[in-house]
Amino acid sequence: MRTDTPVTIHRGDYAPLPWTVEAVELRIELDPTATRVSSTLTCVRNPNVEAGPLRLFGESMELVELRIDGLVASTTRITHEHGGLLVQLDGDRAEVSIVTHVDPSSNTTLSGLYMSRGGYFTQCEAEGFRRITYFPDRPDVMSRYRVTITADREACPVLLSNGNLIDSGELDDGRHFAQWEDPFPKPSYLFALVAAKLVCLERKLETMSGREVLLQVWVEEGNLDRTEHAMDSLIRSLRWDEQAFGLELDLDRFMIVAVSDFNMGAMENKGLNIFNAKFVLARPDTATDVDYERIESVVAHEYFHNWTGNRVTCRDWFQLTLKEGLTVFRDQQFSADMLAEAAGEEGAASARAVKRIDDVKVLRTSQFAEDAGPMAHPIRPESYQEINNFYTATVYEKGAEVIRMLHTLLGHEGFRSGIDLYFSYHDGQAVTCDDFVDCMAEATGRDLEQFMLWYSQAGTPIVRANGKWLAGDGIYVLTLSQHLPPTPGQPEKAPQLIPVAVGLIDPDGMDMPLRFEGESHVGGTTRVLELGETEQTWRFVDLPSAPVPSLLRGFSAPVRLELDEDDECLAFRMANDSDPFNRWDAGQRYAERVVLSLAESHEHGKLLEVPAAFLNAVRSTLCDDSLDAAFRAQACALPGETYLLERMRPADPTSLRVAMQAVFAAMGAGLADVWLRTYHDMEVNGAYRYHPGDAGRRALRNLALRYLVAGGVSEGVSRAGTQFEYASNMTECFGALAALVMSGTNEGRDGLEVFYSRYRDDALVMDKWFALQVMAWRRDPSEEAPVLDRVASLLGHDAFSMSNPNKVYALLGSFFRGNPGEFHLPDGSGYAFWADRVIELDRANPQVASRMARTLENWRHFAPHLQDEIRSQLERVASTDGLSPDVSEIVGKALA
């Protein structure tokens, strides 16, 4: 049994440190097993704080020496505490010099200094710097850094750190050095170092004030032909931030480095962004349209952090959403602008809607699920055991929605003036979410006190809508009420301020001009209602006929909207809603209703029949040539199975899978003629280029194949086979293979082998290969656990590695999260396998283990027989010796 009780950190306990660090001089002598780190800290007493010792955090290192003002510190001045040190200092300033030894080759956590494919890399957010040297490793300690790196020239010809290169040269014994200086004070989590055998693509660019800057994308030599898209994305990001926010790159040099072993997506270290290789490398034959789009948005995200995160950073980690929510909002706006620009004036609105749909899908699938489980937390959490567990969909995606609501409530200009004020007050500081919202309030004169509840209350609000048509008066009365369900530690909640964008549609499908009772004139066709009380009523007047309401247009708030609409009404909005987001959403609601009712029929042993009216509604959407391809692909796709599983209570993955299969088959077979015609019409000719218009057409064609194969349409199977064989780009190649594999066809099985022999040496493409086959649906119901068996045997595959996070996410993450019908086997064998993997991973990499552990946190939503099986495995994990705080927090909360 584990003995150490987890330590909980509380937001309210924040206190500034008695000593901070003004400047850091680092010398890092790299060696695989014995890297020597010498650091000299210029420590300054904080005059506003009661006197106390210098607090140095430290983990997993050997302390070699500690000097104060040049003299070896006597042991009486040093107290050891939780692996860290408290050092007694006199006076107001002191120079503390520390030497540590670290072993990067055995650092499997990928936090701190570690090795990947012979090179050295760092990841310091959130608390990795304390694994390199003893330091007051908190974001409110901002220091200027000068860094000297020494390494073997042969093994590591390239030596990079933050800021500007100020010196470099040869040393004895085949070693060399480089010295870097970062002119901007920064918190330690933004420190970075790279020493490896790399090459780069470079561009010079003039910033808006006319300064010349050097941009570089560093990769392993064989990948140089996959860097162009990342570079283009970086340039577009730079230009966008200048134009949209007036924010300029503040350094002479900006570098992106790709690394194969990385826990998360990427990291915004000052001037030296380090990326998971999958968010950098792209070539038409190895990356899909979706990969291209993701790369553009992650490059943008990290670049935008340079202002929202680095120039103004977080006071403490409870404020994480200050930088993450805001930066996700910024990258979403950027991507929407890029898509709109590519689509041209006519297609811009639809292109923006497609992006919005993508973002909302992520939110509703991951974040709503988080809110409904044991890890539910406000975007600004009140407490945590392990901060790495709080890089969540709530902090990021819901955080971005909260910023978006501010943008909606204050208008674009108001929002922009708030941002300007934020930088004018807080540039160079470590601040809080309150500081940010205060700027928004001050710049616009708006009271945002109630709005702050979005920062402190957890959970997804439920907004219930009721409409009454007063035919005689031409008045439509809309009543909205809100309810925020209890979450762990928050049994009762206050009503929040919820912006609800509303339109009313007439029987011909046209938007009605909107006027509230008491208003002198019409105010447009979409109005934003501000729901701030438990229940409120609005009266729309002067209406010629009964309207169909279109609520929460553009998904104006991160809530669940409940509204009684019959099938005809949903079909009507699918065909007519002028708000493209809601048009899509109407179809999703309809599809959800169809799938979930089929799942219920299956549970009762009834025959499954997909309503013809639903198929007709999809047919109309598919045939509507006024809609662009990307939108049609979204609108004709079924809601994700993971999303639907959360909507089902109790969740029964087996009957959901049966229902999904039935709907896929009916949509494929029943609409075969239109799918085949669409497939033909949407062909994209010419060489591959990443362009949203082309991407939309490819997406729609691939969707057609998915349905046709699922529907057993032989012409569809042969089209997929041909596309797979002759595709000149990865989007088409993989799309065809996915259609064949997902339905469990023999062609799919053969295709996987061909794919493997083509791409076996390409790690990122192999990730796709692993992920696809473990997400496949069962074809033959007589087989017992075909996919679980395959996952288990793939663990031993040559191309697989438990120590590479991308491989783990591809194989295990895709299976646990992406294939509920095969993971949640009634005999519980999937869960035993899950527990074994979590325990195994935790010994090497707690962050990755914790992410896998989270895949069962909503176990209480499942049918009772599954709950029993899951509980015993959760308990087995929880009672494992030496469990990390990361996994311990997850399973502890799940079982609480």
Give the span between the Cα atoms of 56 and 48, in whole angstroms.
19
* Closest to 322 in 3D by CA, of 128, 139, 576: 139
* Closest to 177 in 3D by CA, of 152, 197, 144, 146: 152
- Closest to ligand ARG by CB, 125 vs 641, is 125
Report in angstroms how near the CB of residue 673 gets to Zn ion at its nearest: 46
Report in angstroms how near the CB of residue 180 gets to ligand ARG at its nearest: 21
Give the span between the Cα atoms of 236 and 233, in whole angstroms.
5
* Site residues (CB under 6 A) for ligand ARG, limited to 812-871: 847
Binding mask 120-139 for ligand ARG (x = CB under 6 A): -----xx-------------
User: Which of the ranges 263-271, 418-426, 769-777, 849-857 carries the binding residues for ligand ARG, by CB under 6 A?
Assistant: 263-271
Q: What is the dihedral of CA 397, 403, 407, 410, to 10 degrees?
A: 150
* Site residues (CB under 6 A) for ligand ARG, limited to 216-235: none
Residue 235 CA, chain-centre distance (Å), reads: 22
- Closest to ligand ARG by CB, 192 vs 660, is 192
- Closest to Zn ion by CB, 324 vs 371, is 324
CB atoms within 10 A of CB 372: 19
Q: Measure the N-to-C terminal CA separation of the chain; round to a whole number of Å.
A: 17
Note whether 706 and 739 are within 8 A (CB): yes
* Site residues (CB under 6 A) for ligand ARG, limited to 467-506: none
Which of Zn ion, ligand ARG, none does 646 bind, CB closer than 5 to 8 A by kind?
none
Report in angstroms how near the CB of residue 264 gets to Zn ion at its nearest: 9
- Closest to ligand ARG by CB, 143 vs 276, is 276
Which of Zn ion, ligand ARG, none does 391 bind, CB closer than 5 to 8 A by kind?
ligand ARG
- Closest to ligand ARG by CB, 265 vs 712, is 265
Report in angstroms how near the CB of residue 125 gets to ligand ARG at its nearest: 5
Q: Mapping DSSP to helix (H, G, I), strand (E, B) and coil, where does residue 673 land?
A: helix
Give the span between the Cα atoms of 57 and 34, in whole angstroms.
20
Give the span between the Cα atoms of 190 and 126, in whole angstroms.
9
| Contact residue for ligand ARG among 100, 109, 161, 263 (CB under 6 A) | 263
- Closest to ligand ARG by CB, 78 vs 326, is 326
Residue 538 belongs to what H/E stretch?
Answer: strand 535-540
317 is a site residue for ligand ARG (CB under 6 A): no
* CA-atom Rg of the chain in angstroms: 28
Structure tokens at 93: 């300033």
CB atoms within 10 A of CB 420: 14
Report in angstroms how near the CB of residue 387 gets to ligand ARG at its nearest: 7
* Site residues (CB under 5 A) for Zn ion, limited to 481-500: none
Phi then psi dihedrals of residue 256, to 5 deg: -120, 135
- Closest to ligand ARG by CB, 257 vs 658, is 257
- Closest to Zn ion by CB, 96 vs 298, is 298
| Contact residue for ligand ARG among 302, 438, 565, 842 (CB under 6 A) | 302
Handedness of CA 724, 725, 730, 731 (dihedral sign): negative
Note whether 805 and 845 are within 8 A (CB): yes
Report in angstroms how near the CB of residue 127 gets to ligand ARG at its nearest: 9
What secondary structure letter does DSSP report for 883?
-
Binding mask 313-352 for Zn ion (x = CB under 5 A): -----------x--x-------------------------
Pairing, β 527-531 against β 253-259: unpaired
Which of Zn ion, ligand ARG, none does 386 bind, CB closer than 5 to 8 A by kind?
none
- Closest to ligand ARG by CB, 86 vs 264, is 264
Which of ligand ARG, Zn ion, none does 137 bind, CB closer than 5 to 8 A by kind?
none
Give the span between the Cα atoms of 664 and 675, in whole angstroms.
13
Report in angstroms how near the CB of residue 324 gets to Zn ion at its nearest: 5
Q: Mapping DSSP to helix (H, G, I), strand (E, B) and coil, where does residue 743 land?
A: coil
| Contact residue for ligand ARG among 137, 220, 324, 822 (CB under 6 A) | 324
Note whether 104 and 155 are within 8 A (CB): no
* Site residues (CB under 5 A) for Zn ion, limited to 575-604: none
Give the span between the Cα atoms of 75 and 842, in whole angstroms.
35
Binding mask 384-403 for ligand ARG (x = CB under 6 A): ----x--x------------
Give the span between the Cα atoms of 766 and 732, in whole angstroms.
16
161 is a site residue for ligand ARG (CB under 6 A): no
290 is a site residue for ligand ARG (CB under 6 A): no
Report in angstroms how near the CB of residue 319 gets to ligand ARG at its nearest: 13
Residue-wise DSSP of 285-337: TT--HHHHHHHHHHHHHHHHTTTBTTTBEESSGGGHHHHHHHHHHHHHHHHHH
Residue 447 CA, chain-centre distance (Å), reads: 31
* Closest to 88 in 3D by CA, of 59, 52, 36, 133: 52
Report in angstroms how near the CB of residue 229 gets to Zn ion at its nearest: 20
Which of ligand ARG, Zn ion, none does 384 bind, CB closer than 5 to 8 A by kind?
none
Report in angstroms how near the CB of residue 400 gets to ligand ARG at its nearest: 11
How many helical (H) and strand (E) elements, i.e. helices and strands, does the chain have? 28, 31
Q: What distances in angstroms separate CA 447 from CA 129, 325, 416, 426, one per listed residue? A: 39, 21, 17, 21
264 is a site residue for ligand ARG (CB under 6 A): yes
Q: How many residues bind Zn ion (CB under 5 A)?
A: 2
Note whether 567 and 614 are within 8 A (CB): yes
Give the span between the Cα atoms of 832 and 841, in whole angstroms.
14
* Site residues (CB under 5 A) for Zn ion, limited to 113-142: none
Report in angstroms how near the CB of residue 184 gets to ligand ARG at its nearest: 17
268 is a site residue for ligand ARG (CB under 6 A): yes
User: Which of the ranges 236-244, 259-267, 404-412, 639-647 carries the binding residues for ligand ARG, by CB under 6 A?
Assistant: 259-267
886 is a site residue for ligand ARG (CB under 6 A): no
- Closest to ligand ARG by CB, 236 vs 778, is 236
Instruction: Name the active-site residue from 127, 293, 302, 565.
Output: 302
Q: What distances in angstroms separate CA 339 from CA 31, 351, 353, one per listed residue? A: 46, 6, 10
Using omega within 30 degrees of 0 as the cis cutoff, is the peptide bond preceding 284 cis?
no
- Closest to Zn ion by CB, 324 vs 359, is 324
Report in angstroms how near the CB of residue 388 gets to ligand ARG at its nearest: 5
Which of ligand ARG, Zn ion, none does 235 bind, CB closer than 5 to 8 A by kind?
none
- Is 302 among the residues known to form the active site? yes
Note whether 162 and 40 are within 8 A (CB): no
Which of Zn ion, ligand ARG, none does 125 bind, CB closer than 5 to 8 A by kind?
ligand ARG
Residue 877 belongs to what H/E stretch?
Answer: helix 864-878
- Closest to Zn ion by CB, 190 vs 504, is 190
| Contact residue for ligand ARG among 21, 54, 267, 709 (CB under 6 A) | 267
Which of Zn ion, ligand ARG, none does 844 bind, CB closer than 5 to 8 A by kind?
none
* Site residues (CB under 6 A) for ligand ARG, limited to 34-73: none
- Give 463's strand partners: 482, 561
266 is a site residue for ligand ARG (CB under 6 A): yes
Q: How many residues bind ligand ARG (CB under 6 A)?
A: 14
Q: CB-side exposure of 241: number of CA atoms within 13 Å?
A: 24
Report in angstroms how near the CB of residue 327 gets to Zn ion at its nearest: 5
Q: What distances in angstroms separate CA 814 from CA 68, 251, 680, 789, one per listed residue? A: 51, 39, 31, 15
Interface positions with ligand ARG (CB under 6 A): 125-126, 263-268, 301-302, 324, 388, 391, 847
Interface positions with Zn ion (CB under 5 A): 324, 327
Residues noted as catalytic: 302
